Amino acid sequence: MAQPSHRPTSSPPPQPGVRVACVVSTYHEELTGAMAAAAKAELLAGGMQEADWHPIPSPGAFELPLIARRLARRNDIDAVLCFGLVLTGETNHDHWVSQAATEGILRASLETDKPILFGVLTCQTLAQARSRALPPEAGGKQNKGREVARAALWTLAALKSASSPTLG
């Protein structure tokens, strides 16, 4: 039986002038780049302007938090999306890289009080990663790039509401 999805299936109304940085690991660039491209397409469809999209390459998933934190500290960036892929290998190296990326991205978001979204896939095989990273028209099933972009927009909207003088 299929599990119900509680993920946003659409984007909230666009917030004019939202500027988004995107840190993309160059390891498995075919898949990380596909996630970033899907995220960009979703944000543009939601009203973001092309000039407000700022992609930055990262050597790998381990380095994502540092680059994301630097970007989040900028006054002209509203949210940062992080895309990476860590595959299970013959050693437990993947565990440590995944843990460092996860904890580092969370810490950076809390330190900067800005949304830094986690789009790091942790898969056992390339086939699993392709299924999660690619849009359906490219053979994927989950399109995580689009999901991360939607989560960014919803998080920005929630933060705006949380900062409003009147809640509710």
Q: 6, 28, 54, 93: which one is catalytic?
A: 93
Based on the residue annotation, tell me whether 93 is a catalytic residue of this protein. yes
Among the listed residues 90, 91, 109, the one whose alpha carbon sits nearest the alpha carbon of residue 101? 109
Rounded CA gap, 60 and 137, in Å? 26
Q: How far apart are CA 15 and CA 160, in angstroms?
A: 10
- Distances, alpha carbon 59 to alpha carbons 26, 66, 166, in Å: 5, 12, 43
Cα angle: 18, vertex 23, 27; to 5 degrees: 155
* DSSP character string of 119-156: EEEEESSHHHHHHHHS-GGGT-SS-HHHHHHHHHHHHH
Catalytic positions are 93
